[in-house]
Amino acid sequence: MAMLISVDGEQTVVEPKGATFSLDELQEYVGGFIEILPIDEDRRAVANDEGRIRQMPMNPVASKAAGYLLVGPILVVSRGEIE
């Protein structure tokens, strides 16, 4: 089960349309090209690869979960939800 975390802290459970999230789905959730970052052994943060360049606002909830600064909307997924 994936969690979309908006910059205002709103958390929404999302599911892939198929067995795993497609690239198009991931890009739609984060608003552009993606970057996949580790959170822990099983979870990954899917972020906008150009988020800092585009000066997206900090995402405090996702940053706290990851332990480092994340900006823009963040999709937290388990390793099995992405290919």
Question: What pLDDT digit, counting tens, does each position of 1-32 carry?
Answer: 899 999 999 999 999 999 999 999 999 999 99
pLDDT per residue as tens digits for the range 33-61: 999 999 999 999 999 999 999 999 999 99
Strands 43-48 and 34-38: antiparallel
> Beta partners for 78?
43
HSE-CB at 79 with a 13 A cutoff on CA atoms is 5
The answer to pTM > 0.75 is: yes
